[in-house]
Amino acid sequence: MNIYKRYIMSIINPQETSMKGLQSIILYDSFLSSKLFRVDISGGHTNITGINGAGKTSFLNLIPIFFGASPNGLIEKAANKKNFVDYYLPSSRSMVIFEYLAHSGTKCVVLYRNNNQGKHNYRFVDGCAEDTLLSESSLEILGLSQNVKDVFDQVYKSGVDVSRQIDSIPEYIYTLTADKSRLTGERNLRDLCNRYSLSGSKQQLKFLSNLTQVTINQNNVVSNFKTMLIEAYLDNEKIKTKPTSTADWLATINDVKALQSLQSEKQKIISGIQLKNAVLASFNALHAHLLVLRDHVVNYEQQISSIEHEIYAVKNKGNETVRNLNNQIVQVKELIAVKEKSAGNFKQAIHNIEVAERRYQDMNISVMEQEYKKRAHYFNEIEEAKKYKQFLTESYENINREYDKHSADLLREKMASSEALNAESNEVQEAINQLRNRFDLKVKELERKQAEQLQILDQEISSERQRLLDIQSAAMERMHQSTLFTDEENLQLQRLKLAYEVKENTLSAKSDELKAAQNKLKQLNFDQNKAQYDLNGLKAKLEKAKQSEENLRTTLFQKDTLLRFLNDAPNEDVDWRTTIAKVINPELFFKTNLNPVWQTGVNANALSLYGLEIDLNKLEIPGEADSLEQLQIRLKDAEIYTASLVEQYDKQSHLAQSIHREINETNIAVVKLENELNTLQNEKQQARQVYDQTEKELKAKKAEATRIEQEAVNRAKYELQTFNNQIEPKKRGELRSANMLEKNGLKESYDASYADLRIKLDLIATKEKQLESSYQAKMDDLTNLYHSKLREQGVDENILKQAEMKIKAAIAQHTKVKGYESILAEYDMWKKNHYQYKQNHIEDMNQALKLVSEYNHNLSKLESELEQVRTSLRTRVDNLEASAQDFREKIKKLDKQGREIENLFDDDILLVEVDRPEFLSFDSFSRDLGTLADTQKKQIYQLRLQTNASKALLRKYEAFSLFKLFEEKMESMGTTSETMNTINSMSTIESIMDYDLPKKHDAVTNIFRNKSAQLRNYIQEILNLNKRLKSVSTELSGYLNRSNKFKAFTDFSMNLESVLNDKNTLDQLNQFVLQCEDYQSFENMQSSSIPIEDFIRCCEYTLKAIESTKGHTDDIRSMVRLKMSVMNNGRLAELRTDNDFTSAGSTGTSRILVLIMFLALSRKLCPDNSTYIHIPLDEIGNFDAINTNLLFDMMDHNKIYLVCAQPENSTSNHKFKNLYIVGANGVSTVVPLEIEGDNPLLAAEPV
């Protein structure tokens, strides 16, 4: 144990120094093979040499890491350097210890591995490493526990202060460098800073991180330099005013322009309102005409009723005469009818006799009588025909019996032969059936065998297909799993989504707060308008009262006037107040150049005026002629009244001013809330973007994993498809071919046997056909013999039919003649009962027709008289009905017009009673009524068009929500008729234009005024920033030139310029400020007029100028550009980008240029001279000796220690105090040789 302690003490040799800063770096179980080694870099410059890959650069990287640089941004990702933690802290007991001297003594910072999070953490330890972390007990614990946290517990228990674990780099930087921007609100960090910061909490060294890594990582040099300068010199230069976004500004400008446009188009709505009033007036006029129309309809109906009564009386009288005539006509007609009926009866009887006579003649009644007498002869003919038919029938039956016997013999012979052939055919058919059964059995056996083979093949195929399907299912399951998020990923997305939702909820609350403030602002604007209105009223009253008071004073106290003369020197004979004062112009009382005198010898009491006598008692005495006492009383009352108005005016003025101040405060609050709302919206958008980006990245990873698994699925599908489309069909085809070959052989054997049996069957069929032919020939011979015998006996069928027909004809003739008997009896009866009376009926009929002729003559006379009565009655009634019909037509026309007018009136039309029109004549009234109705229809149509146009105008300016307000008001009115809806719509629009639009107008102008004031303040701050940037640039350039020791580089220029530095842009900004000051003047603020177009255009140009710079006031860096330049050996080199440093000269020159600028300004950025700064530099051998010494001089002047890494066996400068060699066995120390004299080579001037 003592040997090990002595080994530890031999490599640990801390240097004592009074300068604060980094003292040494100690690595325990780190990237070198040695378990523990230490590099002391205090007290001077340090040079580290070694072979390539030995770890020199790794040492250099630790210096900016100590000052707060991000480790992973410096470590190269080589094959053996995955990241900082895995390379520098490979195990849980690995440590990187930075020992430094702080304002309160020696401290340590420990970097160690956090296995749970896969990153490194920090802890501060109060004391040096030898006494705390690397004490004998601590090293013993490290050897046993394998975890550095146990060492922290042991050191803490020993009474040494150990800070809490610090997880983030920013917190570590804030603690070490005392960055006040973070320490203000973090009490724990302030306590750590007071104890462990390099220079104490009052000295900020926050730029050490950037300064110490610029020589290693030369990316973004200009950007980092600009950031440091801005934070150092412009940290307090904040643009406090947060202008509204350009989009909001443009929206407000568009609202103002919309107001201007709406004002120009307002006349269209006014025309619609006037048309609405005209429509309502037309409705009232139509209603009055409608009342007159109804009165005259009642009058016409009464006249029609009177005419109808007259028609009724005329008709009753005429109907009585007609009834009498009709009764006579009826009586005559009845007589005519009786006689006509009698004549008709006789005529019908004659007609019936003649019809019967013609019927018997048509029946040949005389022929019937002759035929009836021959009925016995016809009966004898029937008997003879029957006997002849019986003879023919007996001969025919004998021949048929002989024919039937021979045909039966031939049939029996045929049946015997046919049965023999059938027996032979059945034997052959049985043989065929047996052959077919045997073939079916063999086929079934073969099919069973093939089915077994197919089943075996199906099992093999199914097994192989199932194997491929399992492979495919497994691949698809992996693909499905690859598309799902893990629990950690879901948790990450949920956290990001929760952050977004929290921002969204905060945004919603802030939006509600903004709405409340805007509502308050609207109310205040309303109160201000009301207060201003009252103030203007009081002002008018006050001016009027003051004028009245002044007039009274003039009346009382003005000298040398006519009124003063009348009061001071009145004429005792004339009462001028009751005479002169009544007729004189009151203005003459106050004239001073009239020279009034009283005339003597004139009868002043004669009441005349230049000879005109008037009754002055009818005139009033003017107020100017009151007595002095009355005028003094009126003056006193006027003074009191004026004083009260002044007091009221002052109170109202104070009220208006207080409301105005409150409006300004509320405007500021609204603007602030809008800015906060915009900030929250940006934060919400950023949170949403982070969520979307994270989700997108996770989905991209999932998509890549899915793609890989999809390829596996595709391969499995391809194998399965190949098996289904190629392998399986091939196996089934081979089995099918073998089975088909075997089945075809069996079929061929069957077909041969079957063909032999079919030949036998065909032979039997031939014998059957021959038998049938022989039988048919014998039957034909027998039939011919049969017909021959019939012809020999004379018993042909035709003869038999003729005999039968003769019998039927005889029977028919006998039956016909026998039927004549009833007809002949009827004929005899008719002649006796009817035919003998025919002549008597003719005579009676002629007598009746004569009487009918006489009656018809009388009837004609009566009917003519009746027609005359009816014509007279009809003419009278028609005239009366024509009069009534005329009235009905008028009523109909008026009713039609009335209905048309009533159709114009809906139930919800509100009417006002007006004077009724005069009814001059029906035609003129009807014409006027039609004209008025047509005019009303046109007005309603035009009103609808105007209403739609007005609604379209409201919808056009949707930014003011006028149309939405219109819809809400219309919805509150409920459902109405179309016409009333149109009228209500225009009335609502009128209300909006009179009351709501002015509110919108005030709100827009107030918002525009607030935003313009905000933009003016913002621009003024920008202009002030330009002045500050110019001052800082002059200071930096002068200090850089004074600190430069390199003669090759002269005239350094370091200009910080605003992005709004263009002359045209600045002119535009100044012009806006001037116009805005005029617009924000008190006179303009008292009125709510729309801004002039010139100022609106100025706002737009100003916004475009600001927007073109793409600067953000939240980040002052985006508002500032850094322009640097230097004269390099007489050649100007502009340094605006990192590439400009490279193009300014050789590699060594560009690196020197970077070092000059950073070294010169290092103490400006880190002003604590008691703290040394360590700058790492790789391979200083690239510089020549002279430039190297100049660099060392600048470092020594600025109290900077150089830590340099060079290849093995490199020449070492005498300025290096600490020399180390990094090898396979760790780090070894080299004692530098002291040089007694100066190098004579360095006496030359530097290049």
In the chain, the amino acid numbered 937 is: K
The predicted pLDDT at position 14 comes to 41
* 17 confidence band (pLDDT: 50, 70, 90): very low
CA angle 1219, 1150, 1210 (to 5 degrees): 25
Which of 675, 661, 488 has the alpha carbon at shortest distance from 1112?
675
SS3 865: helix
Q: What is the pLDDT of residue 1235?
A: 47
- Tokens found for residue 1162: 């290092």
**Which residue type is seen at 192?**
L
Which of the two residues, 1037 and 242, has the higher pLDDT score?
A: 1037
Residue 151 CB neighbour total at 10 angstroms: 27
- Residue 1172's nearest CA partner among 96, 86, 101 is 101
174 vs 166: CA distance, rounded Å: 11
- Whether the pLDDT of residue 106 is over 90: the answer is yes
Higher pLDDT among residues 619 and 656, named by residue: 656
**What's residue 1246's pLDDT?**
43
In terms of Cα–Cα distance, which of 1187, 1174, 1176, 1175 is closest to 1148?
1187
- Check if the beta carbon of residue 73 is closer than 8 Å to that of residue 168: no
Pairing type for strands 1049-1058 and 119-126 reads unpaired
For residue 528, CA distances in Å to 534, 539, 1007 come to 10, 16, 15
Q: Report the C-alpha gap between 864 and 859 in whole angstroms.
A: 9
DSSP 8-class letter at 1245: P
**Are residues 569 and 605 in contact, defined by beta-carbon separation less than 8 angstroms?**
no
Please give the Cα distance from 381 to 393 (Å, whole number): 19
Q: What is the pTM of this model?
A: 0.43
Q: How far apart are CA 504 and CA 497, in angstroms?
A: 10
> What are the DSSP calls for 934-955, one per residue?
HHHHHHHHHHHHHHHHHHHHHH
Percentage of the residues of the chain whose pLDDT score is greater than 90: 4
Average pLDDT of the segment spanning 1225-1244? 55
Mean pLDDT confidence for 770-799: 75
Query: How many residues in the chain?
Result: 1247
The residues, any chain, with a CB within 8 Å of residue 380's CB and separated by 6 or more, are none
Note whether 571 and 604 are within 8 A (CB).
Answer: yes
For 27-72, what is each residue's pLDDT tens digit? 988 887 667 888 898 888 898 888 877 778 888 888 889 888 888 7
Q: Which of 1119, 1005, 1016, 1117 is nearest to 1059 (CA)?
A: 1119
Structure confidence at residue 10 (pLDDT): 39
**Structure token digits, residue 769:** 């056909």
563 pLDDT tier (thresholds 50, 70, 90): confident
Query: What's the pLDDT score for residue 569?
Result: 64
Residue 218: pLDDT over 70: no
Closest CA to 353 of 835, 845, 841: 835
In this structure, what DSSP letter does residue 1219 have?
A: E
Determine the residue type at 267.
Answer: Q
| Residue 175 pLDDT greater than 80, yes or no | yes
- 645 vs 1159, which has greater pLDDT? 645
| Paired tokens of 247 | 């989009």
76 and 216 Cβ atoms separated by less than 8 Å: no
DSSP string, 290-309: HHHHHHHHHHHHHHHHHHHH
pLDDT category at 77 given cuts 50, 70, 90 is very low
Burial class (CB in 10 A: 0-12, 13-18, 19+), 37: buried
- For 706, the enclosing helix (H) or strand (E) is helix 628-722
CA distance 161 to 105: 13
- Sheet bearing 95-102, strands edge to edge: 36-40, 21-28, 95-102, 105-114, 119-126
- Euclidean distance between CA atoms 21 and 26, whole angstroms: 15
Confidence (pLDDT) at 885: 86
DSSP 1: -
Question: Tell me: the pLDDT tens digits for 694-712?
Answer: 888 888 888 888 888 888 8
Q: Return the SS3 of 595.
A: coil
pLDDT tops 70 at residue 615:
no
E strand or H helix at 107: strand 105-114
Cβ neighbours of residue 1181 closer than 8 Å, sequence gap 6 or more: 1206, 1207, 1210, 1211
Helices (H), 202-245: 208-213, 221-233
Mean pLDDT to the nearest integer, 716-735 = 81
Closest C-alpha to 24, from 90, 93, 109: 109
For residue range 648-696, list pLDDT tens digits in order. 888 888 888 888 888 888 888 888 887 788 888 888 888 888 888 888 8
What's the pLDDT score for residue 1145?
Answer: 59
Asked if residue 208 has pLDDT above 80, the reply is no
Angle between helices 375-483 and 797-833 (to 10 degrees): 110
Range in 211-220, 476-485, 1006-1015 the model is least confident about: 211-220
Q: What CATH topology corresponds to 248-362+839-904?
A: Helix Hairpins (1.10.287)
Structure tokens at 424: 């032979």
| SS3 at position 1173 | strand
Domain ranges of the chain: 2-205+1166-1234, 216-239+1001-1165, 248-362+839-904
**CA neighbor of 1149 nearest in space, from 1123, 1184, 1125:** 1184
Average pLDDT over residues 899-920: 72
The model's pLDDT over 1070-1114, given as tens digits with 9 standing for 90+, comes to 887 787 877 766 555 555 567 777 777 888 777 787 777 665 555
Helix-helix angle 246-362:797-833, to 10 degrees: 80
Confidence at residue 1155, expressed as pLDDT on a 0 to 100 scale: 77
CA–CA gap between residue 761 and residue 753 (Å, rounded):
13
Phi, psi of 1206 (to 5 degrees): -135, 160
Stated as kind and residue range, the H or E segment containing 122 is: strand 119-126
Q: Are 56 and 1181 spatial neighbours (Cβ–Cβ below 8 Å)?
A: no
Distances (CA, A) of 1116 to 334, 742, 789: 133, 97, 149
* Residue in 224, 176, 230, 233 with CA at minimum distance from that of residue 1158: 224
d(CA 754, CA 666): 118
Give the Cα separation of 1196 and 1187 in Å (integer).
Answer: 14
CATH architecture of 2-205+1166-1234: 3-Layer(aba) Sandwich (3.40)
Q: Which of 141-145, 925-929, 1137-1141 has the lowest mean pLDDT?
A: 1137-1141
Helical spans, DSSP H, in 363-374: 365-372
Distances in whole angstroms, Cα of residue 592 to Cα of each of 550, 561, 624, 786: 17, 4, 15, 181
Q: Which of 911, 971, 994 is nearest to 273 (CA)?
A: 994
Show the tokens assigned to 943: 């009103």
Q: What is the arrangement of strands in the sheet containing 1131-1135, beginning at the earlier edge strand?
A: 1049-1058, 1120-1128, 1131-1135
If you average pLDDT over each of 294-303, 817-826, 995-1004, which comes out highest? 294-303
CA–CA–CA angle 114, 116, 122 (5° rounding): 25
How far is 1140 from 1125, CA to CA, in rounded Å? 10
- What number of other Cβ atoms are within 10 A of residue 356's Cβ? 16
Number of CB atoms found within 10 A of residue 228's CB: 21
* Helix or strand (DSSP H, E) at 745: helix 728-793
Give the C-alpha separation, 144 to 1029, whole Å. Answer: 60
What is the arithmetic mean of pLDDT over 150-157? 91
Tell me the per-residue pLDDT of 250-286, one tens digit each, with 9 for 90 and over. Answer: 777 777 777 777 777 777 778 888 887 888 787 778 7
Q: What is the pLDDT of residues 1045-1060, one digit of tens each?
A: 787 788 888 888 777 7
Gyration radius (Cα) of the chain, Å? 69
Angstrom distance (rounded) from CA 1146 to CA 1128: 11
Distances 915 to 289, 667, 1182 between C-alpha atoms, Å: 9, 56, 114
Quick check: 1202 and 1175 in contact, CB under 8 A?
A: yes
Average pLDDT, the chain: 77
From 211-215, 315-319, 331-335, 1019-1023, the region with the lowest mean pLDDT: 211-215
